[in-house]
Amino acid sequence: MFLVCSQIMELYFNLINFEWRHAQHALREDDLGEALVTLRRSVDHFTALNASWMSFRWMTPADFNAFRDDLGEASGFQSFLYRHLEFLLGFKDEALMRPHKNVAGDHYAQLQEAFIAPCLYDDVLAYLARHGYEVPDVVLQRDTSRTYDTNEHVEDMWVALYADTTHGDQLRDLAEVLTDIAEAFSDWRYRHVMAVRRAMGAKGGSGGSAGLAWLERSLARNAFPELWSARTRI
């Protein structure tokens, strides 16, 4: 069960990665309709991905302990596809590429490319800037190998976008589907935290990771942060 459900998740990570990269391409081509269809589809993929955690609810600490030693140094940190997903959401941490450095194949090279490339949010903000919204140059020209930091002027832009009725509903649809994605991703992280709590409590993670403590810190970070903070002002 543990291995099968983990592999199912890897397949969905790959699928969602593909969808988001396709959406980025559509945004760069100013094809908002195609980007919206693709992003909405990825939200539905998350419904299936997050449902994969249901099977883990059957695993007690005794069940996990019975095979945990067989995992050796294996860890969720070694998921190349999940790491790529985080990079696409703007969560960049160079240290998280180290477990992939000596893995056979081109995974490390692909992660390096994703690490320095614009995230999905970068392409959304660049699209909005091209279509009349005020996105500061410091954001448009930022170092995309760093985690995206909140900018008050981007928050102002989202407030203005929700108030603007001259561009139709598609841009608000874009804002809402990004919010759906952020929420779905947070749901995945929350279910991961709960599965770890149920199966191993606060023990250290396999492969030497901090386990639950690290996962709880990650859960506190939101993708597309100004979309959340702007809601206080809308």
Q: Which of 68-72, 123-127, 142-146, 230-234 shows the lowest mean pLDDT across its residues? A: 68-72
For residue 88, the model assigns a pLDDT of 96
- Buried/exposed 192-214: b ≥16 CB within 10 Å, e otherwise: beebbeebbeeeebbeeeebbee
Q: How far apart are CA 109 and CA 105, in angstroms?
A: 9
For residue 69, the model assigns a pLDDT of 75
Q: What is the pLDDT of residues 214-229, one digit of tens each?
A: 677 777 789 999 999 9
**1 Cβ neighbours under 8 A, 6+ residues apart:** 55, 56, 58, 59
For residue 86, the model assigns a pLDDT of 93
Half-sphere exposure of 224 (CA within 13 A, CB side): 25
pLDDT of 174 higher than 90: yes
- Residue boundaries of the structural domains of the chain: 2-232
pTM: 0.89
For residue 60, the model assigns a pLDDT of 87
pLDDT of 85 higher than 60: yes
Q: What is the pLDDT of residues 139-159, one digit of tens each?
A: 999 999 999 999 999 999 999
Q: Say what the alpha-carbon torsion angle 71, 77, 79, 85 is, to the nearest 10 degrees.
A: 160
Reply yes or no on domain 2-232 having CATH 3.50.50.60. no
Query: How many CB atoms sit inside 10 A of residue 176's CB?
Result: 16
